[in-house]
Structure 1
Amino acid sequence: MRVLFVCLGNICRSPTAEGVFRRELDAAGLTGRVEVDSCGVGPWHVGKAPDPRACAAARRRGIELSDLSARQLCAEDFQRFDYLLAMDHDNLAALKRLRPSDCRAHVGLFLDFAGKENRPVPDPYYGGEQGFEEVLDLIEEASRGLIEDIGRRLEVL
């Protein structure tokens, strides 16, 4: 099972989701059964580490993001991943535009797994520290819902 988190530049929301989700997988005993990655729809930050504010907020919750580096979404991602989860509607629109017709992956909004259908993870980039904390809260909640969904799917396999 493979999960890809997608945001605009891959320096705030999607690497935070990657880090949080790895922790949740570990807690659920699924670490070896699920591969996790993150990317951005744009090329602006390719090769860069996550935003220092995202790293600091995650570190306060025991999650390390500094070893991650930004990359851009590529065509192979649609074949490689089972879930491509967008952080907001613009990211989702980009995924749907680029999605090949033979793609069998689940492509949708990440917060749908938190029972917050059609809601975006807000972009904290231009805000203050509280925005990064809110993003972490939302991502933690959605991660638990995604773990439940994956758990059901893995039991069927």
Structure 2
Amino acid sequence: MDERRKICLVTKDDFMSFEYILCMDESNLSDLKRKANSVKNCRAKIELLGSYDPQNQLIIKDPYYGSDEDFEKVYEQCLRCCKAFLEKNS
């Protein structure tokens, strides 16, 4: 799946409907911010999910071509980040 197709999964309505849109890496972040600039009344705060990581691992690497261990590491990182995000924003 190419980058343009992935970013199309986030619609213009999402930028007006959601308070946060969290992404995994700087390429996603750049694409989302560019798309958000074309939306009037954008209310979503666009951030890297990794910015909430208590272990300071900012980028969440795509494990698609990796091993089972790589998928486990990404799962653990996402879990840490989501917990921290919820603690900060609840």
Per the alignment, residue 81 of structure 1 pairs with 18
Alignment of 1:122 with 2:61, yes or no, is yes
The two structures have a TM-score, normalised by structure 2, of 0.82
Shift of 1:144: 1.0
Fraction of identical pairs, as percent: 30
Q: Is the 8 A contact 2:29 2:47 kept in 1?
A: yes
Root mean square deviation of aligned Cα: 1.9
Please, which runs of 5 or more residues in structure 2 have no aligned partner? none
Local SS of the residue matching 1:76: helix
Count of aligned residue pairs for this structure pair: 84
Considering fraction of residues, name the structure with more helix: 2
Q: What secondary structure is seen at the aligned counterpart in 2 of 1:108?
A: strand
Could you tell me which amino acid in structure 1 is paired with residue 7 of structure 2?
V
For the residue of structure 1 that corresponds to 2:50, the secondary structure is helix
Question: Which amino acid in structure 2 is aligned with residue 146 of structure 1?
Answer: F
- Counterpart CA distance in 2 for 1:128 and 1:144 is 25
- 2:7 — aligned with what? 41
Amino acid of the structure 1 residue aligned with 2:14: D
TM-aligned CA deviation for residue 101 of structure 1: 5.1
Q: Give 5+ residue unaligned stretches, structure 1.
A: 1-7, 10-39, 43-71, 152-157
- Normalised by the size of structure 1, how large is the TM-score? 0.49
| Residue matched to 1:143 | 82
